[in-house]
């Protein structure tokens, strides 16, 4: 068996980047051919990698880009080859030339976890936001961004990703009823931790810091202006990232982060900062959705009809819960909305996959016909 490029003793240096035995096992088949490092920033076909060689700027190989092109000529790396195109948090397989200091990425290791959404630019594609995440902090600003329905949407995505969610209600100093708003959130999140913070007043951050464990990767998610950058600056203890002036409209900080990137805290925790997400559409998987709406799913079992849509059917347990005040009308409305969104995404994905299969089969048939014609001519 060929000798590994990186000795195991050297691989232990990657522990501060989140390296563990599970990742090491995934690397074993490739250790004689490729080096490995953590992706901290991605810009189109370039990425920055942290490895035993330090910080490297790496180019994504032309072969990898070509392999991720479908039969229609459009890139499909969000779909069948999703596990190979780098995103922030990935462990990239690369070749490194010490002579010229250049690195070339050839793929990524299998992901332990990934946070995905329906690609807003291409409605039938999956877009991976980040990979190998242990915990996700959903940041919401109480003074303007407070929205229970958005929390349900985010939780459906996070629980489906096998990532532990934490709700962070920031800018608590800008509202007078923060305690009441906190109670409302806890009523709909089924035991998910909820923190009340104010980055400017430095309140609630001690509890948040405790969750940033050494070698664990956390991601900060939320809309623009909710205070993600200020929270990160406070956590790392320096003004590493500029915070633009507060807008006169809604006391809202302007958008600052322009790309997903990885940040390391003094305690050894790893933070992935993200640009403000204007929208986050559900991907087609159902598991996280059912966890978020477990109360409605349980009530559905008592409906008279097994295929009850909870809209107008007689003896519907869900509608009865709405009528007697046990269930919020807005919550059941959001349940229906997200359920339809998931169904639509599933249908579109099936259509796209079937189309690719048809095109691939047509190419094989044409190739077979050409070969037969060539044999006859011989």
The CATH number assigned to the domain holding 298 equals 1.10.40.50
Whether residues 166 and 75 fall in one domain: no
Whether residues 155 and 293 fall in one domain: no
Which regions of the chain are under pLDDT 70?
1-3, 9, 64-84, 118-125, 238-260, 276-288, 344-346, 348-356, 360, 365, 368-378
The pLDDT score that the predictor gives to residue 167 is 94
Domain with 39 in it: what CATH number?
A: 2.40.50.140
Helix (H) or strand (E) run with residue 36 in it: strand 35-43
Whether residues 208 and 342 fall in one domain: no
Q: From residue 370, how far is each of 90, 129, 256, 364 by CA, in Å?
A: 42, 43, 56, 10
How many structural domains does the chain have? Answer: 3
Whether residues 256 and 130 fall in one domain: yes
The answer for 225, left when phi > 0, alpha when psi is -120 to 50, beta otherwise, is: left
The pLDDT score that the predictor gives to residue 38 is 94
Sign of the C-alpha dihedral computed for residues 227, 233, 237 and 242 taken in this order: negative
Q: Which residue has the tokens 């079992």?
A: 301
Whether residues 96 and 125 fall in one domain: no
User: Please, which residues have CB within 8 angstroms of residue 98's CB and are 6 or more apart in sequence?
Assistant: 53
> What range defines the domain where residue 219 resides?
114-273
The pLDDT score that the predictor gives to residue 309 is 86
Residue at 77 is within a domain: yes
Q: Which residue has the tokens 């205070």?
A: 227
DSSP state of 277: P
Query: Around Cβ 215, how many Cβ atoms within 10 Å?
Result: 15
Whether residues 219 and 268 fall in one domain: yes
**Nearest one of 132, 128, 92 to 111, comparing CA atoms:** 132
- Determine the distance from the C-alpha atom of residue 372 to the mean position of all C-alpha atoms in its chain, rounded to a whole number: 48
Whether residues 268 and 122 fall in one domain: yes
The pLDDT score that the predictor gives to residue 50 is 92
Query: Around Cβ 362, how many Cβ atoms within 10 Å?
Result: 11
Whether residues 71 and 139 fall in one domain: no
Whether residues 225 and 325 fall in one domain: no
Q: What is the Rg, in whole angstroms, of the alpha carbon atoms belonging to the chain?
A: 24
**204, 195 contact by CB (below 8 A):** yes
**Nearest one of 99, 90, 176, 154 to 338, comparing CA atoms:** 154
Question: How buried is residue 281: exposed, middle or buried, by Cβ count under 10 Å (0-12/13-18/19+)?
Answer: middle
Whether residues 72 and 132 fall in one domain: no
**221, 274 contact by CB (below 8 A):** yes
């Amino acid at each position: 068996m060929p000798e590994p490029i990186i000795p195991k003793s050297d691989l232990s240096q990657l522990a501060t980047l989140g390296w563990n035995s599970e990742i090491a096992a995934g690397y074993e088949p490739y250790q004689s051919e490729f080096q490995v490092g953590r992706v901290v920033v991605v810009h189109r076909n370039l990425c920055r990698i942290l490895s035993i060689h330090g910080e490297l700027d790496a180019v994504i190989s032309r072969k990898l880009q070509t392999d991720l092109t479908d039969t229609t000529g459009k890139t499909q790396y969000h779909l069948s080859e999703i596990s190979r195109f780098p995103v922030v948090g990935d462990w990239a397989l690369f070749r490194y030339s010490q002579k010229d200091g250049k690195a070339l990425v050839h793929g990524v290791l299998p992901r332990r976890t990934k946070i995905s959404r329906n690609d807003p630019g291409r409605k039938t594609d999956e877009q991976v936001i980040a990979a190998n995440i242990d915990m996700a902090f959903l940041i919401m600003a109480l003074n303007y961004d407070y929205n229970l329905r958005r929390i349900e949407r985010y939780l459906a995505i996070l629980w489906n990703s096998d990532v532990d969610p934490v709700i962070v209600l920031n800018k608590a100093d800008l509202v007078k009823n923060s305690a009441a708003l906190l109670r409302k959130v806890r009523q709909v999140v089924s035991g998910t931790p909820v923190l009340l913070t104010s980055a400017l007043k430095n309140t609630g951050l001690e509890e948040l810091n405790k969750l940033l464990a050494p070698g664990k990767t956390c991601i900060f998610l939320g809309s623009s202006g909710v205070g993600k950058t200020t929270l990160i600056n406070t956590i790392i203890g320096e003004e590493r990232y500029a915070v633009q002036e507060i807008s006169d409209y809604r006391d809202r900080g302007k958008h600052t982060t322009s790309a997903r990137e990885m940040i390391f805290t003094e305690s050894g925790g790893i933070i992935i900062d993200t640009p403000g997400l204007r929208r986050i559409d559900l991907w087609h998987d159902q598991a996280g959705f059912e966890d978020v709406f477990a109360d409605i799913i349980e009530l559905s079992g008592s409906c008279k009809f097994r295929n009850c849509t909870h809209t107008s059917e007689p003896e519907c347990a869900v509608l009865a819960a709405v009528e007697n005040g046990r269930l919020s009308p807005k919550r059941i409305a959001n349940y229906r909305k997200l359920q339809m969104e998931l169904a639509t995404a599933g249908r579109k994905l099936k259509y796209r996959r079937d189309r690719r299969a048809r095109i691939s089969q047509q190419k094989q048939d044409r190739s077979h016909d050409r070969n037969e014609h060539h044999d006859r001519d011989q």
